[in-house]
Amino acid sequence: MGYHEDEQQKLEQLLESLIKMVGKANKNVDSLQTRVRQLELLIREQNLIIKERDPLENYPRHHHLPDKFPIHL
């Protein structure tokens, strides 16, 4: 009878360990999902800011071009 109880105790310990592992994995997934949602919100906000700007501001200015082009007559 002792053999059966020993096996049952080992199975219970294994089950408890598996439950803890799954719980930690779920916690990590929840944390990752929260971070992904935060990133998505930031991207949406940046896109809204860009859309509200003057269209000419969305393009970088070329600093290597002079302010006035020389006129040759």
Q: What is the pLDDT of residues 19-51, one digit of tens each?
A: 999 999 999 999 999 999 999 999 999 998 888
Query: Distances in Å between the alpha carbon of 48 and those of 36, 59, 60, 72?
Result: 18, 16, 18, 44
Would you say residue 55 lies in a domain? no
Would you say residue 67 lies in a domain? no
Would you say residue 26 lies in a domain? yes
Q: Is the pLDDT of residue 63 over 70?
A: no
pLDDT on residue 51: 83
Would you say residue 54 lies in a domain? no
Would you say residue 8 lies in a domain? no
Q: Quickly count: other Cβ atoms within 10 Å of residue 13's Cβ.
A: 10
pLDDT on residue 68: 63
Please count the structural domains in the chain. Answer: 1
Q: Residue 29 is part of which domain span?
A: 22-49
Would you say residue 28 lies in a domain? yes
Would you say residue 31 lies in a domain? yes
What number is the average pLDDT over the span 5-30? 93
Would you say residue 2 lies in a domain? no
